[in-house]
Structure 1
Amino acid sequence: MDAYTVSAEFYDVLQGRDERERAERLFASPARRARSGIVEVGAGSGLVTQVLARAATVPVHAIEPNPAMRALLMSRLAAAPTEHRARVTVHPERVQELWPRQDVPQADLAVCSNVIATLDPGQRHGTWAALARLVGPQGLLLVDPPPCALPEAPRTKVLPQVPVGDDTYSGFLSETPETDHIHLEYTYQVHRDGELLREEREEFDLWPVAGEELRQELADAGWVVCRPSPAAPGRGELLTARVAEHL
């Protein structure tokens, strides 16, 4: 089964409101300042894409290789105002496959929201290098850094309860440290009148990387880390980098 085949149904219902508000806080202002184009890696269901398209006046290149999430993205764009939808081009390739193509104009802003931690080290390295070439000298990168280390012990996070008609959607997330990654298991539940109607599960992996190692990866790919800039309180930091002038 492809990744997100299960989670696509539940993603926006359980996490959409928080992610949309966070995207407005973090990405709307940089999108308004973009002057040539925006590249978004891992557009997912389009929550961030929607914010970028509404704020920007330049083309937005939304990269989403996963079919289930791309279907949500396309549905969101179909319902968007025509002027916003006209700005967004959806790319089903991975960014490593996209950057050599001549039909993709160079951008000056790259956005990676909730995606870098899902890439193994090899994929992560390739992403940094491809983005540096898509964005070009002095281009800006905004990214959620991966976790710095493995958790000391397994832990569980309860997802919100959201009513939809007669049903209540909810669930929880279990995180288990493995040798070099964090194993995630999402459990989604649907209740009606207090009774469990169905339960679905899906598993993912996250790949931690220490801060200095991450900086070195970016430097090797041609990025200069400006500084971690504070995000919303309690939501961690957003890492900011620019492509070196000599790239």
Structure 2
Amino acid sequence: MTAGYSHDPHPDGAGTDTYTADAAEFYDLMATPYIAQVEPVLATLLADVDTIAGPVIDIGAGTGLSTVAIADALPDAEIVAVEPSPAMRAVLMSRLAARRDLRERITVVPHGFLDTNLPERCAAVAALGVIGHFDAPARRKVWATIANALAPGATAVIEVQRPGRVAAVSERRYTRARAGALRYEGWSRAQPVDAESLVWRMTYRTYDGDRLLQETVAAHRVWPAASERLTREAEAAGLLPASADADTGLLRFTKRP
């Protein structure tokens, strides 16, 4: 669930590669509440996917949380997990190594989405926590690539990354977790760069009791877009809006027959 783009399209922005390298150590632990909320909704949105039509593409697979959720929802599906970050892929590959059943049907592609040669016909495409990593011109290419790859009537599930607009967000603790004797906290804040983009700064803190053992700051630039704007872009590429889940921000589209 990371950026599917192989580089930051604006050199003055925070690089995605740096962000994922810094965040990979903490990503799964911090994402546990998120994936618990998203997983059942994702399974519902993928319920009608015809896996005979082709593989399912997971754009920006990250550490594989979304990939495994797709695999569990569609036990007969072949899956292509696209992830450009070596740090995130290391966790993903470790996850696959522990599950032989997944290894046999999940292919991990070490490129950005727009640099990947996709199968000619795909049963579905999923992009969780990804679309905001593309600026507007790149998003047009993403939508066109998705539409071209999908089989007629096939499904695309795209997550609207909040807040969906450019606005400053003051620092807040968005999650905390424990592992063994240590406590972990995730903090986030956002600062606008211009009218179209902002930089998220994520701070990960590790505590032994009240003693701070480690603090890691990871920054990445995003181009927020509300669901209405993403829907217009999808329709322009030939995708039809099918359903939406307001709680998770997941949008489902289908390829025009």
Q: TM-score range by the shorter chain?
A: 0.7 to 0.9
- 1:182 is the counterpart of 2:201: no
1:132-211 superposed matches below 5 A? 132-146=147-161, 147-151=163-167, 153-179=168-194, 180-211=196-227
1:119 is aligned to 2:134:
yes
In 2, Cα distance between equivalents of 1:211 and 1:52: 22
Cα distance in 1 for residues equivalent to 2:140 and 2:19? 21
% identical aligned pairs = 28
Q: Which has the higher contact order (CA 8 A, sep 6+)?
A: 2
Cα RMSD between the aligned structures? 2.0
Q: Is the 8 A contact 1:31 1:38 kept in 2?
A: no
1:52-85: CA deviation from partner (whole Å, max 9, x where unpaired): 11232020111111111111111111112x2232
Shift of 1:187: 1.0
* Correspondence for 2:70 among 45, 52, 70: 52
Q: Residue 175 of structure 1 contacts residue 185 of structure 1 at CA under 8 Å; is this kept in 2?
A: yes
Segment drifting more, 208-217 vs 32-41:
208-217
Structure 1 residue 221 corresponds to structure 2 residue 233: no
1:240 equivalent in structure 2: 252
2:90 counterpart of 1:90: no
Query: Post-superposition, which runs of at least 4 consecutive aligned residues in structure 1 deviate over 4 A?
Result: none
Q: Does 1:72 align with 2:87?
A: no
- Cα deviation, 1:111-147, whole Å, max 9, x if unaligned, reads 1111111222232222111111221322111111244
Q: In structure 2, what is the equivalent of residue 3 of structure 1?
A: 19
Q: In the alignment, is the contact (CA less than 8 A) between 1:128 and 1:218 conserved in 2? A: yes
2:37 and 2:248 in contact (8 A); partners too = no
Q: TM-score, normalised by structure 1?
A: 0.86
Range moving further from structure 2, 162-171 or 110-119: 162-171
Equivalent-residue separation in structure 2 for 1:201 and 1:22 (angstroms):
25
Partner of 1:41: 59
**Distance between the aligned counterparts of 1:31 and 1:171, measured in 2?**
30
Structure 2 CA distance for aligned equivalents of residues 242 and 79 of structure 1: 34
Native 8 Å contact 2:18 2:218 kept in 1: no
- TM-score under structure 2 length normalisation: 0.83
Structure 2 gaps of 5+ residues are: 1-16
For the 8 Å contact 2:143–2:234, the answer to whether it is kept is: yes
Letter in structure 2 aligned against 1:6: D
